[in-house]
Amino acid sequence: MATAVVRGLEGEAKGDYELPSAVFGQEVNQGVLHQAVVRQMAGARQGTHDTKTRGEVSGGGRKPYRQKGTGRARQGSTRAPHFRGGGTVFGPTPRSYVLAMPRKQRRLALRVALSVKAGDGAVQVADELSFDAPRTRQMAAFLDRAGAGRRVLLVVEGKDTNLELSARNIPQLKVIQASNLGVRDVMVADTLIFRRAALDLVVEHLG
């Protein structure tokens, strides 16, 4: 069974926490992990790109020259795609990149990602991490003493303004609510730090 180091407010080790094997003990499934990461990255695309077809560009309302007698190829508009200033053929138009994935597979992928991090010893539990006011220096000291590495994902159970403000100016530190936890966020992080209440929510949701 995987364990996580429990950290106090100053980042000191206070013991070990046994991570539930139902969530942090899954076998690696690369296929479902890949599918979940691709889905999350695709869903983040805005899809607002747009180009104009020959019917949407301005101008070109009449024939550029007469049909016959010029020795040139017949043309109906200077806004045809082969003319400069003409429309685009098969260009991108606004669309949604959202990919469907069954709920069971999404949850399995998240369990696998958490299991990978737990197996690497990259999961920690923050027992008392909260501030009565923004404390960036205190947050940085906590991460330094915890040996969190460069990319840190801090999982909280709900909105915590003081904590978010304390973390905002620290590079590579991301604060995320447990309900929004995604596979890509887990995989790119060097260290996952859960507040205990957030860990309970994740275990309840995935277990």
Return the pLDDT at 52: 96
**Span 3-45+101-206: which CATH code?**
3.40.1370.10
- The pLDDT tens digits of the residues spanning 32-51 come to 999 999 999 999 999 999 99
* Cα distance between residue 53 and residue 76, in whole Å: 15
Per-residue CA distances from 29 to 38, 110, 112 (Å) = 15, 11, 7
DSSP assignments along 92-138, one per residue: -----------HHHHHHHHHHHHHHHHHTT-EEEESS---SS--HHH
Return the pLDDT at 112: 95
Contact call for residues 4 and 151 (beta carbons, < 8 A): no
Question: Among 21, 25, 203, 19, which Cα is nearest to 124's?
Answer: 19
**Amino acid letter, 87:** G
- Tell me the domain boundaries of the chain: 3-45+101-206
Sort 104 into a burial class: Cβ within 10 Å, 0-12 / 13-18 / 19+: exposed
Q: Which residues contact 130 (CB under 8 A, 6 or more apart)?
A: 160, 162, 163, 195
* Cα distance between residue 97 and residue 44, in whole Å: 8
Return the pLDDT at 75: 94
Stretches where the chain sits below pLDDT 50 are: none
pTM metric for this prediction: 0.82
